[in-house]
Amino acid sequence: MTARWVGVIGVVALVAGGCRSEEKRAGTPSKTDTSPTQAPGAARGEPVEVVLWHSYREREKAALEQVVEAFNRDHQDLRVRLLNVPYDAFVDKVTIATPRGQGPDLFIFAHNLIGEWVDREHLLEPITQRVPPEVLKRFLPDTVRALVYRGSLYGLPLAFKSLALFYDPDLVPRPPETLDELAEAARKATDAASGRFGLVYEASLLYFTAPFIHGFGGQVLDATARPRVAEAPVAEALRFVRGLVRAGVVPKGVTSAMVTSLFNEGKAAMVISGPWFLGEIKDGKRYGVGLLPAVKPGQRLKPFLGSEALFLSAYSKHKDEALQVMLALTSDEAATTRLQVGRQTVANEAVYARREVLADPVVSAFRAQAQNTVLMPSAPEMQVVWSSMDTAVNQVVFGDVEPDQALADAQKKVLADIEKMRK
């Protein structure tokens, strides 16, 4: 077992051994009996239905449906019913419907809202006592660590998400290793006459700027949930990005749809995006995926790492049955299907040792990038950082406000918002 795993398993084991009362406090008021008693319908010979909400589309959706179909085929007394909820409405729907008894037993989402859903909404059921520590060894350590909040485990990981560098090999023969190489490759590939840009991404958003912030040695939120945005490394990162924009190699005002369109049309030599972008590249388009470059040797840009997980609702009436589903859908077998059919960057470590996966350069690139990331904070305080920092990024990168001023304003605003939130 690696040193990284010793740390994760140690935390979970400690929680399981001595924090049962903390889990009871952290979860929603226990309105349902979670002991393994006979479920409603079982006495009548009817299968117990576990409802699972997700927002997957296209290949990811097809892969999940295939895994669930196999589970239902093998379990006569238990059925999983999938409900696809549009991503833009997902958070509101889960937050509003669940306490009213109209929500799912299980749902799939990224880990970053755990703090909000535990501290403020009380939607999540802690599962530390329900999952044997050996099960957690299936997964990449950081994908589990992301799901531990205030000493309790709140989900099982399905996949990890992080940004990486997509490139068009007809315009950029190989991914640049350093920021200097990135700037030079972007400059050479930019052609104003044809509307082609060297590097295209949503540069107005903190999420896409975070790799530069971390790469230059800055941080957004520290371990105590205090914002650290008004510091020199953050300002230095924004100055670098502003230089790319002012050099004309990064376009202004692009949306995710525009990023896809430009890349598919050969008008974006390089793109910063995540594994979801794989499903948006048109058939036949040549592309490669590489690590984000380094500020200097040994100091790569580091995007946020997100752990996409299965969460158990604290309001579920079928918690034991739902746990069976969680364990099955996060198995190595299910993960292999989700990787091969859905092109997901799955959380299961063993899958990456398979010969066909090792031979897949795209999957291998995202697996390598996962080793150069910063775990996205799941504390509620992070939720008030996004909008203020998006504003600061825009003011600096696309406007005329100096980084020190914009970031000082952002720090002040975030601290004030955090104070209001905590009252």
Q: Which domains does the chain have, with CATH numbers?
A: 3-161+305-375 (3.40.190.10), 194-302+379-422 (3.40.190.10)
Per-residue pLDDT band at 79 (split at 50, 70, 90)? very high
- pLDDT of res. 2: 53
**317 exposed, middle or buried (CB, 10 Å; 0-12, 13-18, 19+)?**
middle
Q: Name the residue with higher pLDDT: 265 or 30.
A: 265
What is the rounded average pLDDT of the residues 54-73? 95
Mean pLDDT is lowest, of 5-9, 33-37, 319-323, for 33-37
What average pLDDT score do residues 30-48 get?
53
Q: How far apart are CA 315 and CA 31, in angstroms?
A: 7
Q: Are 174 and 293 in contact (CB under 8 A)?
A: no
Would you say 295 and 211 are in contact if contact means Cβ atoms under 8 Å apart?
no
- Residue 193, helix vs strand vs coil: coil
Which range is least confidently modeled, 34-48, 213-227, 273-287, 325-339? 34-48
**Taking all residues of the chain, what is their mean pLDDT, rounded to a whole number?**
90
Q: How far apart are CA 348 and CA 69, in angstroms?
A: 20
pLDDT score at 12: 52
Ramachandran assignment for 166, one of left (phi > 0), alpha (psi -120 to 50 degrees), beta (any other): beta
Q: Per-residue pLDDT averaged across 275-279, rounded? A: 90
132-144 residues labelled b (16+ CB within 10 A) or e (exposed): eeebbebbbbbbb
Single-letter residue type at 313 = S
Residue 189 pLDDT > 90: yes
* Coil/strand/helix, residue 122: coil
How many helices (H) and strands (E) in the chain? 17, 14
pLDDT band at 302, cuts 50/70/90?
Answer: very high
Give the separation between CA 306 and CA 329, rounded to whole angstroms: 19
**Between 10 and 408, where is the model more confident?**
408
3-state secondary structure of 128: helix
CB of 154 closer than 8 Å to CB of 147 = yes
Q: How many Å from the N-terminal Cα to the C-terminal Cα in the chain?
A: 43
pLDDT band at 45 (very low <50, low <70, confident <90, very high): confident
Q: How many CA atoms lie within 13 A of 302 on its CB side?
A: 19
